[in-house]
Every structure is written in C-alpha cells, then in structure tokens.
C-alpha cells in the first residue's frame, strides 16, 4: 500500500501561470528533500480550483514532509501562488 495525499486549493486566475512555472522546481525539491516521495499529479478543476495528488511510500513519509512545510525555495514559490486551501485528505491505495 502507498499513501496518497489529496490537496484541493484555489489559485487566482492571474496566479495560475506562476503556479505552473513553480511546479518543476517544487517537484525537484520534493525529490531531493522528501524521503518517500513517489510522484505527483496536478489537476486543474473548474472555478479556479486545483487538485494535487501526491503519492508517498508511507504515512510516516507524508507526515515528515508535512512537518517540513515550505522549507525550500521551489516549494515556497509553488505554495505562495496558492490563494486558499479548500481541503486536504490522506488515504491509501489497495495494491492487492
């Protein structure tokens, strides 16, 4: 089983390009600094909302990442483009 982070957020239309431009550096920072990070997929939803689907090796890896917050420039640049957090959930896959 893997842990899946589902984060839904709003971005002002004028910040969407900034969010997308910051994404590669955020992912590079995650790969370099976040133990257990597997992959991430960003989905644009209607109404200026986005869904970030991030896969982690374990719930402990996800918790450790969350505790670090925006500790690196690429992560901070991505997070700073977000206007509002809508929801954040954690689940697991059933890889049986």
- Radius of gyration (C-alpha) of the chain in whole angstroms: 13
In tens, the pLDDT along 46-69 reads 999 999 999 999 999 999 999 999
Q: Which domains does the chain have, with CATH numbers?
A: 3-89 (3.30.70.100)
pLDDT value, residue 51? 98
What per-residue confidence (pLDDT) applies to 96? 59
**pLDDT at site 35:** 97
pLDDT at site 94 = 85
Of the candidates 21, 81, 8, 78, the residue with the CA atom closest to the CA atom of residue 47: 8
Residue pLDDT, tens place only, 11-48: 999 999 999 999 999 999 999 999 999 999 999 999 99
* b (16+ CB within 10 A) / e for 56-79: beebebbeebeeeeeebebbebbe
Q: Distance between CA 27 and CA 40 in Å, rounded? A: 8
Which secondary structure element, helix H or strand E, spans residue 69, and what is its range?
none
């Amino acid at each position: 089983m893997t842990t899946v982070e589902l984060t839904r957020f709003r971005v002002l239309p004028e910040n969407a390009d900034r969010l997308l431009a910051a994404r590669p550096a955020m992912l590079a920072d995650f790969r370099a600094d976040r133990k257990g990070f597997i992959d991430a997929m960003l989905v644009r939803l209607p109404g200026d909302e986005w869904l970030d689907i991030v896969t982690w090796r374990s719930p402990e890896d996800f918790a450790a990442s969350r505790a670090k917050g925006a500790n690196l420039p690429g992560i901070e640049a991505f997070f700073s483009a977000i206007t509002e957090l809508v929801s954040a959930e954690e689940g697991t896959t059933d890889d049986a």
